[in-house]
Amino acid sequence: MTGPLVIGHRGASGHRPEHTALAYQLAWRSGADSVEPDVVCTRDGILVCRHDLDLAPTTDVATRPEFASKRRTMEVDGEVVDGWFVQDFFLEELKELRARERWPKKRPGSAMYDDLLPVLTLEELLDLREQESARAGRPLGVHIEIKHAALFRDLRMPLHESLVAILRERRLDSSLGPVSVMSFEAEVLKQLRRDLQVEMVQLVDEHDSVRFRRMQKIGGYASAVGLSKHLVLPRDAAGNVGEPGPGVQASFRAGLDVLVWTLRSENSHLPANLRSGGPAREHGDAATEVSRLLDLGVDGLVTDFPEVAASVRADRVGAIAL
């Protein structure tokens, strides 16, 4: 691989239901160097690849009468959610569910795979990484995002301990290895840094400060930041791509690598001047957005459509070689 990393967001989640074996496999086979699983914890302490605590948006749990009694409400990130929550399920129960596309109207091709694929554990994903690395003839990566760590800590569920044990047992706890750990929660990364030598990535969203002083502080416990795309390429009043935000240069000055999240190809996720003339779910000029980010010198792109970023990167590398 030459050039910035291409990281499949929850796998190739633009084409297959997110966090499934097929999504991860397709991402690597489409040119991604790494994939990004979100990791949460089951009631019996097993780490699984899911973004939401609520299983309803991405599984068939609502159609399963045997789990009707598990439905409840809880506050998640300041909002009251009515659903079925991963921490209430043992792994054996979770394995009975089947994955579904989050946005079936926007991504009908992915929705064709609904109800076919089980929920994946982190260990199963790491096994798949080994198989796909052997197939590709190169070490493929995994950027593990820790979700809701404070909640699991309050519930005394061993998310931290389980992750450390898994990576140590597999000898994936080295800074030279293929695994990185990401989180929005700084304390999580600081604590994990005491037990693991892997790259730590502080995620930063569009509401956070990206000043140099903060980036310096992040450099005390992480080697990279993951910046929201809207911080890096903010939009002007007309919804077009404006001038680059200060976050990239502030991060570089602090000695940090920069990953950008999340790139999506549909019109609804692109700036106005890169959209096609069709409906919101139609794909626009995502390749130009990738090119603009690469022009800024970023170190990695987190994307639902890794084949687009991989193709743009290959074209640029080829042009430089000529």
Q: Per residue of the chain (322 residues), what is the pLDDT tens digit? A: 467 999 999 999 999 999 999 999 999 999 999 999 999 999 999 999 999 999 999 999 999 999 999 999 999 988 999 999 999 999 999 999 999 999 999 999 999 999 999 999 999 999 999 999 999 999 999 999 999 999 999 999 999 999 999 999 999 999 989 999 999 999 999 999 999 999 999 999 977 778 999 999 999 999 999 999 999 999 988 899 888 999 999 999 999 999 999 999 999 999 999 999 899 999 999 999 999 999 999 999 999 999 999 999 999 876 554 4
Helix ranges restricted to H, the chain: 21-29, 91-94, 108-111, 122-136, 149-154, 159-169, 186-193, 212-218, 229-232, 247-253, 286-295, 306-321
The CA radius of gyration of the chain, in Å to the nearest whole number, is: 19
* Phi, psi values for residue 142, rounded to 5°: -140, 125
- Give just the sign of the alpha carbon dihedral 181, 307, 131, 60: positive
Domain residue ranges of the chain, discontinuous segments joined by +: 5-52+123-321
**For the chain, percent of residues with pLDDT exceeding 70:** 98
Report, at the CATH architecture level, how domain 5-52+123-321 is classified.
Alpha-Beta Barrel (3.20)
Both structure tokens of 111: 């929705």
End-to-end CA distance of the chain: 17
27 vs 19: CA distance, rounded Å: 11
Length of the chain counted residue by residue: 322
Per-position b or e across 23-48, b if 16+ CB within 10 A of its CB? bbbbbbebbbbbbbbbbbbbbeebbb
**C-alpha span between 247 and 228 (Å, rounded):** 10
Q: What is the rounded distance in angstroms from the CA atom of residue 245 to the CA atom of residue 219?
A: 19
- With the C-alpha atoms ordered 160, 46, 76, 201, is the resulting torsion angle positive or negative? positive
Residue 216 C-beta-side C-alpha neighbours within 13 Å:
4
pLDDT at residue number 64: 98
Maximum pairwise Cα distance, the chain = 63
CB 258 within 8 A of CB 225: yes
Question: 171, 248, 167, 184: which is closest to 222 by C-alpha?
Answer: 184
CA distance 40 to 218: 24
